[in-house]
Amino acid sequence: MTYIIIGGSSGLGRALAEKFAAQGCELVLVSRDARDTGALAADLTIRHGVAVTPVAMDLAGSPLPFDALDSVLGNHAPLKGLLLPAGVNDDADKVGLSAEKLAFLSRVNYLAPCELLNHYLPLLEKNSGVIIGFGSVATARGRSRNAAYAAAKNALASYFQSLAHYAAGRGISCQYYVLGYLDTNLAFSQTLLFPSASPGRVADAVYRNRFRNGRFFLPRPWYILYRIVQLLPWAVFRRLTF
């Protein structure tokens, strides 16, 4: 069976590609950077003996161009899963963000993933497929930093709740991961309050749990921190700067 991985050239997407290919899954890797994705696809095909095809797609485009992706799927085994680890943030993301950046963050983190879900939902339903989304602990509570990013990820989380309601009884596995800090290039040179997790370990957990339904926190201790932030009195929370 075939899995589409959106944002499959680096970070968590790359780790997921490594894990699923090692388990014998065919893959379609989608990212904006065709060179990195192409090199990874060739490497995975050679090392694991599975069909891996790269497709260039910019999630900021509207509407998304599905022709190339649909055409590639025709050369693969039936579609079994859609994984959506793609996401983007901006150091300038604060309340009062420019309209251009607000639209970009909203599109890449929420609207484009929903378009992908809606486009492939009939095929995934037919194949008793797997849909896996990824959010962030930044959604625990709105604050001045990461305002647009957190709002978009909150919207995506809500859409996945609706998707889970739709999928119940239709044979679709639907899960959503709320992620803490990951040890990727996005964390370089940053002072982190808590330890980061290896993308490889997260990918192992995602593969192991791919047929389960529900919302999961990775690393799991982040659930406690997430709830603490939500329950903090406003007088305390408004003074936090993390």
pLDDT at 195: 61
CA quadruple 159, 104, 72, 11: dihedral, nearest 10:
-80
Is the Cβ–Cβ distance between 210 and 176 less than 8 Å? no
> Could you tell me the CA-to-CA distances from 2 to 76, 85, 113, 221 in Å, in that order?
7, 17, 18, 32
Terminal-to-terminal C-alpha distance of the chain: 42
Mapped onto helix, strand or coil, the DSSP state of residue 50 is coil
Least confident stretch, 56-60, 95-99, 100-104, 177-181: 177-181
Is the confidence at residue 196, as pLDDT, over 80?
Answer: no
- The pTM of this model reads 0.92
- Average pLDDT for residues 72-98, to the nearest whole number? 94
Output the average pLDDT for the chain. 91
The CATH number, out of the four listed (3.60.15.10, 3.40.50.300, 3.40.50.720, 3.30.70.260), of the domain defined by the range 2-237: 3.40.50.720
Q: Give the position of tokens 């596995």.
A: 173
Mapped onto helix, strand or coil, the DSSP state of residue 232 is coil
User: Residue 35 phi/psi, 5° resolution?
Assistant: -70, -50
- Average pLDDT for residues 114-123, to the nearest whole number? 97
Q: Residue 190: which pLDDT band, with cuts at 50, 70 and 90? A: very low
**What are the extents of the domains in the chain?**
2-237
